[in-house]
């Protein structure tokens, strides 16, 4: 278990906006619709209530300041090895034992390579936020996946849709490698992608159709820290506030991406009719 003590850098973010807009505290308070006293308290203590955070960060976002996305670029320049985690309610600590069994690769702490990846998994939740972490892979056992059959079978196993094939020798070999690893690195699979995988495990589409459809996603890679040893290689950097307009824009992007995946699935069904079905692969 590791403590997550980082918080919003709202004081520095306000300073950035004031400098960029060339305005003082009084003018900013009026524009963001917060009281002058409240703003002065934030500048002094560096903390704010959620409703005040919403006004400040929504003002920034609506005025074209993409603070969180730009911070991603800056911290990657500074630390190079950085990952992001989206949280529905915020974190005080992280532990493998508290994670769910039915995630893509079982229990573990899941992170993505980019801020937008993390945002996309929590943008529908009102109290959600994103965290950045420095990380190291030194002295850790790593299992890597590409967008291939092994990756798809592993996710279907942990999400519980393999049915009669759960004890297949190929599946067990993949799972054993995962369970021996400290960290799993693999393409991200969201619920839209898993819907396609489930069609494969149910015998509705063949492997070629499934994999060519999934390749349209391009969500990037996820890093799953599966052991307490791996967690010790994570160092929290910052917590990012997700304003209503930013989360709304993210949902729009996800809707467009789902249309692309639907189209790719329909085209793949026409193009790859001779691929192998699950019963042929795991017979």
pLDDT at res. 261: 82
**What percentage of the chain reaches a pLDDT higher than 90?**
65
Q: Is residue 73 part of a domain?
A: no
Same domain, yes or no, for 97 and 13? Answer: no
For the segment 271-280, what is each residue's pLDDT rounded down to a tens digit?
888 889 999 9
Q: Which residues pair with 183 in a beta bridge?
A: 142, 225
Name the CA dihedral angle for 219, 221, 223, 224, rounded to a multiple of 10 degrees: 60
Q: Could you read off the pLDDT of 15-30 as tens digits, one per residue?
A: 999 999 899 989 999 9
Same domain? 60 vs 109: no
Q: Quick one: 211 and 142 in the same domain? A: yes
Residues 51, 157: one domain? no
Q: Which residues pair with 111 in a beta bridge?
A: 223
Domain boundary among 22, 39, 65: 65
Distance, C-alpha 174 to centroid of its chain: 24
Residue 1 has pLDDT above 80, yes or no: no
Average pLDDT over residues 93-102: 82
76 is a domain residue: no
Q: Which domain holds residue 201?
A: 81-281
- Mean pLDDT across the chain, nearest whole number? 91
Q: Are residues 36 and 85 in the same domain?
A: no
**How do residues 109-165 score in pLDDT, each as one tens digit?**
999 999 999 999 999 999 999 999 999 999 999 999 998 999 999 999 999 989 899
How many structural domains compose the chain?
Answer: 2
In a domain, 71, yes or no: no
Position 1 in a domain:
no
In a domain, 72, yes or no: no
Is residue 16 within 8 A of residue 71, CB to CB? The reply is no
Query: pLDDT at residue 216 above 70?
Result: no
Same domain? For 35 and 143 the reply is no
Do residue 49 and residue 183 come from a single domain?
no
CATH number, domain of 20, equals 1.10.260
pLDDT confidence band for 236 (50 / 70 / 90): very high
Other CB atoms within a 10 A radius of the CB of residue 281 amount to 16
237-272: per-residue pLDDT in tens? 999 999 999 999 999 988 888 888 888 888 888 888
- Could you tell me if residue 74 is inside a domain? no
Is there a single domain that holds both residue 28 and residue 165?
no
275 and 136: one domain?
Answer: yes
239 belongs to a structural domain: yes
């Amino acid at each position: 278990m590791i403590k997550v003590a980082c918080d919003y850098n709202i004081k520095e973010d306000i300073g950035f906006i004031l400098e960029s807009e060339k305005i003082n505290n009084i003018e900013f308070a009026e524009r963001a619709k917060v009281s002058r006293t409240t703003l002065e308290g934030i500048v002094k203590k560096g903390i704010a209530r959620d409703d005040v955070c919403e006004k400040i960060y929504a003002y920034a976002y609506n005025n074209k300041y993409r603070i969180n996305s730009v911070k991603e670029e800056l911290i990657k320049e500074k630390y190079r090895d950085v990952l992001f985690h989206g949280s529905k309610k915020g974190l005080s600590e992280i532990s493998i034992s508290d994670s769910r069994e039915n995630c893509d690769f079982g229990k573990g702490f899941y992170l993505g390579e980019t801020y937008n990846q993390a945002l996309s998994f929590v943008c529908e939740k009102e109290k959600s936020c994103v965290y950045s972490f420095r990380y190291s892979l030194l002295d850790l056992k790593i299992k890597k996946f590409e967008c291939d059959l092994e990756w798809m079978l592993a996710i279907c196993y942990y999400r519980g849709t393999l049915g009669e094939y759960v004890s297949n020798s190929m599946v067990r070999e993949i799972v054993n490698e995962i369970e021996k690893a400290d960290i799993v690195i693999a393409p991200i699979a969201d619920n839209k992608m898993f819907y396609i995988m489930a069609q494969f495990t149910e015998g509705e589409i063949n492997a070629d159709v499934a994999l060519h459809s999934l390749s349209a996603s391009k969500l990037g890679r996820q890093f799953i820290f599966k052991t307490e040893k791996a967690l010790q290689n994570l160092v929290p950097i910052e917590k990012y506030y997700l304003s209503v307009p930013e989360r709304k824009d993210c949902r729009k992007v996800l809707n467009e991406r789902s249309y692309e995946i639907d189209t790719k699935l329909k085209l793949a069904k026409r193009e790859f009719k001779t691929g192998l079905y699950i019963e042929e692969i795991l017979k």
